[in-house]
Amino acid sequence: MTDWNAMSDEDFRQEARAFFAKHYPEHLRYAPHRLHWNEIGDWYLTLSKHGWIAPAWPVEHGGMGLDPGKLIIFIEEQEAHGFARTPDQGVIMVGPLLIQQGNDEQKKRFLPKILSGEHIWCQGYSEPNSGSDLASLRTEAVLDGNDFVVNGQKTWSTLAQDGTHMFLLVRTDKTVRKQEGISFLLLDMKTPGITVRPMKILDGHEHFCEVFFDNVRVPRENMVGELNKGWSVAKALLSFERLFIGSPKTAQSALTHLEQLARLTGANEDATFRTRLMRFQLDLADLNALYREFSEQVRRGEKLGPDISIMKIFSSETYARIADFIVETGGSGALSDGPSMIGNEQAEVVAIFYESAPTRFSATSSHQVCSACHRVDVAILSSWPGLSRSSTSEAESQRYGCSREARA
């Protein structure tokens, strides 16, 4: 078995670059939206076959065991090659959670099938009236012998129509404080009583779903953690999610699209454009620094605290600003659904803006945000030692054409 961490960074980069160039399907490069299993599944299976599907998992659980530096290189090379995101909630969320909090039987039963692609996971958290206040969820699970009987509804479940399994939060005690009466279950989506209804969003795709449960039986052995202690389990899992969402991957992908678009439109010849591009590149360098800090905590087996949200905010609002600049760079001629013809080539403009839209709401709901440029107050970021450059300074606000007086 290859010890990837024993390689020099440059040797590992060349290894990853060669692997991706050889195996990644050319027609999937720079996909502007989330792909379904029937579109991206073969690539997932290729990664699985070669042992590259779980770069951050420990080696003893079937992963590559990459240290934070190598993991950053892995992500950078993926983005440089225009990777589409795979159905990865098993790899980035369920797997790390089970490694940390699952029992031995659950690890043995679920982890290998995540790696092999036999199990594709989706999330069952949000409900029609329980989004930001997730602890108010109403989907109920009642113990009946050795099974929970689940009734209720989940919404905004990403690619649930492709999922074979779901991890979900359910209410198992209505008599206690709302955070204390929740349990965490693992569910087979083939179980009778489940209805999945895809939802069409702004870009015309059906990435999200509503999921309905009508007397769905879930074995008690599929509960992670203790009864009524699922809120703590969920918080641990959300830390993994925030680590992934806060990674440089999405913003880097948007920046790659911006650079391609600038080449097609000739904007890269403009000095003002290049200055703004450089600022985004500096933000991404800061984001890389944050990611390394938090990744190292996970590698050491430490629990991620609430400060992980700093990185998620920073990543989300950087992605949104790049998406705005993509639309600006594309101009009015590119404002149409689907790919736009610029010169003799196609370029995605509006789809990336639509993809960034959820981050505008999820990343800024509880933080001070500039009303002029929608940037998170730099005072929040300046408290984190991983940020090293002007993004923590007073001058930073001027980078985006706004002032502190405009901040709400």
pLDDT higher than threshold 90 for residue 104:
yes
Task: Judge if 261 and 396 occupy the same domain.
Answer: yes
Q: What do you get for the CA distance between the two ends of the chain, in Å?
A: 54
The model's confidence at residue 392, banded by pLDDT at 50, 70 and 90, is very low
**Cα distances (Å, whole numbers) of residue 284 to 20, 251, 265, 311:** 22, 7, 23, 11
Supply the pLDDT for residue 84.
87
| Structural domain includes residue 133 | yes
Summarize pLDDT for 338-370 with one digit per residue, the tens: 555 555 566 666 666 766 665 444 433 333 333
Mean pLDDT of all residues belonging to the chain: 81
The model's confidence at residue 224, banded by pLDDT at 50, 70 and 90, is very high
CA–CA gap between residue 134 and residue 1 (Å, rounded): 42
Determine the average pLDDT of the residues in 225-242. Answer: 81
The CATH code of the domain that includes 393 is 1.20.140
| Structural domain includes residue 102 | no
Task: Judge if 47 and 134 occupy the same domain.
Answer: no
| Structural domain includes residue 116 | no
pLDDT higher than threshold 90 for residue 6:
yes
Determine the average pLDDT of the residues in 87-93. Answer: 91
Provide the number of structural domains found in the chain.
Answer: 3
| Structural domain includes residue 258 | yes
Q: What percent of the chain has pLDDT over 90?
A: 47
Supply the pLDDT for residue 182.
95
The CATH code of the domain that includes 144 is 2.40.110.10
Q: Of the candidates 86, 111, 130, which is a domain's last residue? A: 86
Task: Judge if 267 and 384 occupy the same domain.
Answer: yes
Task: Judge if 283 and 371 occupy the same domain.
Answer: yes
| Structural domain includes residue 92 | no
pLDDT higher than threshold 90 for residue 121:
yes
Residues spanned by the domain of 54: 4-86
The model's confidence at residue 405, banded by pLDDT at 50, 70 and 90, is very low
| Structural domain includes residue 113 | no
| Structural domain includes residue 318 | yes
Supply the pLDDT for residue 396.
36
Task: Judge if 390 and 291 occupy the same domain.
Answer: yes
Determine the average pLDDT of the residues in 286-295. Answer: 81
Catalytic residues: 241
Task: Judge if 133 and 190 occupy the same domain.
Answer: yes
Q: Of the candidates 229, 262, 288, which is a domain's last residue? A: 229
Task: Judge if 51 and 148 occupy the same domain.
Answer: no
Task: Judge if 373 and 271 occupy the same domain.
Answer: yes
Determine the average pLDDT of the residues in 225-237. Answer: 88
Task: Judge if 265 and 341 occupy the same domain.
Answer: yes
Task: Judge if 132 and 258 occupy the same domain.
Answer: no
The model's confidence at residue 390, banded by pLDDT at 50, 70 and 90, is very low
Question: Per the confidence metrics, is the pTM higher than 0.85?
Answer: no
Task: Name the more confident of 355 and 241.
Answer: 355
Task: Judge if 139 and 72 occupy the same domain.
Answer: no
Supply the pLDDT for residue 406.
32
Q: Which span out of 134-138, 146-150, 260-264, 271-275 was modeled with the highest average pLDDT?
A: 146-150
Summarize pLDDT for 25-65 with one digit per residue, the tens: 999 987 877 899 999 999 999 999 999 999 989 999 999 99
| Structural domain includes residue 94 | no
Task: Judge if 82 and 149 occupy the same domain.
Answer: no
